[in-house]
Amino acid sequence: MLNENDVLAAVRHHIIQRGDPSPVEQPSNAKITWHSLLEGEILRCLETRTEHPRLHRGHLDLSGTPQYDSLHQHALDAPKELAGTTTAKLVKRGTVADQACPCGNGHIGCPRCQGRGELPCDPSAPCTDCPDTDPCLLCHGTRTRTGEPLGDQDRARNERTTCQLCGALDAACRTCRGRGKTTCTTCRGRGSSTCPNCDRSGTVTHEHCAGTGHTVTWTEGVIERRTRTEDVTWPPSGVSFVARQQARDNGRWSTASLTHHDPVPDDLETEFKKLLRPHLKKSEGEIAREAAFRYLPLARVEVPHRPHRVYYVFPGGTSLEVVPVLSPRRTWQLAGAVLATVVALYLVVQLIA
């Protein structure tokens, strides 16, 4: 346990060792700020319990799966190790329904073709190569010749072929041969095409049972356990980084390791207990916990005749350790000096250039 007299004596001894005999004897000669360092790690095993309706397409044997009546009250063995994630799947008693699908054999009539296996199709389609000209220059697609072509239609004869309707030479569209229509490429003029959903069979697989003709339904309970790790560092700020590192390496820490059911040990320092208790509150869903902490008291000392230094004091291996660091005021002064030097060098370079 640190006290003011021991802390001041350690600081005075440190200063004298470095060639400054100025006294640091009374608390009034120095300002002491007390800190408590706490570090640790907490492993919490958190559990969630949920229920879901389940459907399996086909046959499924659930006789070997553990059952439960009330998921909330279902007992499960405590975890042997906290690390990792485990998932237990259970079946609610009395909810299993193993039954044949109403479809009978796993297939139903194709809804697209209504079980016919074919879809109606127009056997022909308007010719796309003669939408702006007559399919035949003489019969105009009517089988009856109306006369000789005139003007630009006459000049188009060298691009025409024999009309299949009226027999006129060099008068018909080369694509539709005077008919004005072309045969449908899908049904090839048959007037119907194969249904792409059932491939002419008239039936498709029943999605509800995936073609098995059987289903199994039940209520599934899922118990999941996962580990959450929490790192504890106190205080989060206010202590020099250098001093904290020195304390970690050379400090004589008090330690405590606690499981989920362990109370805070009575032999711990009062401040150690005070810092521990907020971290030991049970989290939502917590079923187990392991925690390891260490604690170290630390004093921050400001000496009036040494305004550029701050001294951190903590229990070491055999005696009190003293770690001097630059005071905030001195740190800002040095930073300002460095900045001024940089600015001066920049101006000199600009003048020379």
For 287-342, the pLDDT digits (tens) are 999 999 999 999 999 988 888 889 999 999 889 999 999 876 655 555 666 666 77
Look at residue 118 and tell me if it is in a domain: no
Full domain range(s) for residue 39: 4-43+231-339
Which residues does residue 226 pair with via DSSP β-bridges, in sequence order? 46, 85
- Is 102 among the domain residues? no
If you average pLDDT over every residue of the chain, what do you get? 86
Determine the average pLDDT of the residues in 341-353.
72
Lowest mean pLDDT among 89-103, 156-170, 232-246, 247-261: 156-170
What is the pLDDT at residue 28?
59
What pLDDT shows up at residue 153?
52
pLDDT cut 90: percent of the chain above it:
48
The count of C-alpha atoms lying within 13 angstroms of the C-alpha of 188, restricted to the half-sphere facing its C-beta, is 1
Which burial class, exposed, middle or buried, applies to 138 when counting CB atoms under 10 A from its CB (0-12, 13-18, 19+)?
A: buried
Tokens representing residue 299 in the block: 């004093």
Cβ–Cβ < 8 Å for 190, 121: yes
The answer to whether position 288 is within a domain reads: yes
pTM of structure? 0.66
* Any domain includes 274: yes
Neighbours of 225 (CB within 10 A): 20
Q: Is residue 69 situated within a structural domain?
A: no
Looking at mean pLDDT, say which of 21-25, 55-59, 138-142, 329-333 comes out highest.
55-59
Quick one: pLDDT band at residue 151, thresholds 50, 70, 90?
very low
Domain contains 14 = yes
- Residue 34 in domain: yes
| Number of domain units in the chain | 1
Lowest mean pLDDT of 22-26, 28-32, 42-46, 154-158, name the range. Answer: 154-158
pLDDT value, residue 352: 78
- How do residues 99-121 score in pLDDT, each as one tens digit? 999 988 999 999 988 888 888 88
Residue 88 resides in a domain:
no
Pairing mode of beta strands 67-68, 31-57 = unpaired
* pLDDT exceeds 80 at position 154: no
Q: Which of 12, 43, 40 is nearest to 26 (CA)?
A: 12
- What does the alpha-carbon distance between residue 212 and residue 128 come to, in Å, rounded to a whole number? 48
